[in-house]
Amino acid sequence: MAERGRTLAMGEDEATGARDTVEAPFGRALVAIARQRPEIVGLTADLGKYTDILPFRDAYPDRFLNIGMAEQNLVAIAAGLARTGKLPFATTYGVFATRRAYDYIAIALAHSGVNVKIVAGLPGLTTGYGGTHQAIEDLALMRMIPGLVVIDPCDATEIAQATAAIADYDGPVYMRLLRGKVPVVLDPARYRFEIGKAQQVREGGAIGFISTGMMTERTLDAAAELERRGVSAGVLHVPTIKPFDAATVAAFAAEVDRVVTVENHVVAGGLASLVAETLFEHGVSKPLQRIGLPDRFIECGSVPTLQARYGLTTAAIVATVIAA
């Protein structure tokens, strides 16, 4: 009998073992940026350990606030700090930021364009703690809020660059966080993250993958595997969900035989929906296959088991595309 997987700690490392990793890329980046930016304040709602913000606390204890398990208050306090000229980075889990503090993100932040960055751990299916902890619909919820920037970074390179980019951007941002040992997928010497820009990270024409977040790593691996099997596949990486780079997506889709979206999120309301809207609006008529999470709450379990079961692994992407 095969050994069964076991549910581990709340937030596990994102590394799949195939690539080099960086430990706590968000926390490291924030510490470095904050050296030049004394107005940066770090906040968390009792999840400092699990959102990689402890390096910031250790570097700048006077600029760090742990406000306890109170996500509405986390956002409200961050809003008040921003109104006195501070630049707050507030961390919690995606489920709590979006489900518990929605009105505060919408009204206290987005309505007035208040300069607060929400950094949200455990995106999609990256924890085995079940529906209470898996932010499977956060991108859909956040993209509905007027004026909010929504980012789903791919890897350690992009987290570091996006952290700097959102610090420079004057306005509210919701950014998904990969924590712990995070793989390096994008070459830091060549890749340049820009808010609102989709970037082609692999050439190829039969299959046009459009992916976001950590799924871009698995999609790149799936595209390489498909090529070994004689199927040409390109990958467009879309780290910014809002504002959405519709022009680049439409142009990319126009050049491929069929489009496959891949996201660590329910297939309703997130990347797949945005791509479908974009293709219709631009008159790009291509078959569209949507890879992502189903319309259901997901059980507890080990992350590798769950990701395989729900189609988020490289092997699952290859199999899904071949089967279509």
Partner 1 sequence: MARPNSPSDTPDLAALARRAANLRRHMLAMARGQGSGYIGQGLGIADLLAVLYFHELRYDPANLAWAGRDRFLLSTGHYSIALWAAFAECGILPVEELSTYGADDSRLEMSTLDTTPGVEIIGGSLGHGLGQGVGMALGLRMDGIEARVFVELSDGEMQEGATWEAAMAASHFGLDHLVALIDCNGIQADGPVVLDMEPVADKWRAFGFETREIDGNDLGAILAALAELRARTGRPKAIVLRTKPGRGVPTLEARERAHFVRVDPGEWDALVAEFEREAAHG
Which residues are near partner 1 by CB under 8 A?
41, 62-63, 65, 67-68, 70, 72-73, 75-86, 88, 103-104, 107-108, 111-112
Amino acid at 15: A
- Please, what is the minimum distance in Å from the beta carbon of residue 105 to partner 1? 12
Taking the least distance from each CB to partner 1, the nearer of 36 and 84 is 84
Q: List, in sequence order, every residue forming a beta bridge with 202; answer none if it has no partner.
A: 235
CB of residue 114 to partner 1, shortest distance in Å: 9
181-183 vs 149-151, strand pairing mode = unpaired
Task: Map residue 94 onto helix, strand or coil.
Answer: helix
State the nearest-atom distance from the C-beta of 69 to partner 1, in Å: 9
User: CB-wise, 15 or 41, nearer to partner 1?
Assistant: 41
Both structure tokens of 239:
């780290």
Q: How far is the CB of 163 from partner 1 (least distance, A)?
A: 21
CA angle, corner 45, sides to 43 and 47, nearest 5?
100
* Cβ-based nearer residue to partner 1, 63 or 99: 63
Instruction: Report the residue number, 3 or 62, with the smaller CB distance to partner 1.
Output: 62
| Phi, then psi, of 10 in degrees rounded to 5 | -50, -50
Given CA atoms 231, 236, 241, 243 in this order, what sign does their dihedral have?
A: negative
Cα–Cα–Cα angle for 226, 229, 235, rounded to 5 degrees: 20
Structural element, H or E, at residue 163: helix 156-168
- Distance separating alpha carbons of residues 285 and 123, to the nearest angstrom: 31
**Between 89 and 129, CB nearer to partner 1:** 89
Where b means 16+ CB within 10 Å and e means fewer, 244-270 reads bbbebbbebbeebeebbbbbbbbbebb
- Contact criterion met (CB below 8 Å) for 123 and 151: no
Instruction: Name the pairing type of β-strands 21-23 and 207-211.
Output: unpaired
Q: Which is nearer to partner 1, 33 or 81 (CB)?
A: 81
Closest separation in Å from C-beta 2 to partner 1: 46
Least separation in angstroms between CB 24 and partner 1 = 25
Q: How far is the CB of 175 from partner 1 (least distance, A)?
A: 20
82 or 236: CB nearest partner 1: 82
Nearer Cβ to partner 1 (62/187): 62
* Token reading at 5: 């997987």
CB of 113 vs partner 1, minimal distance in Å: 10
289 burial type by CB count under 10 A (0-12 exposed, 13-18 middle, 19+ buried)? middle
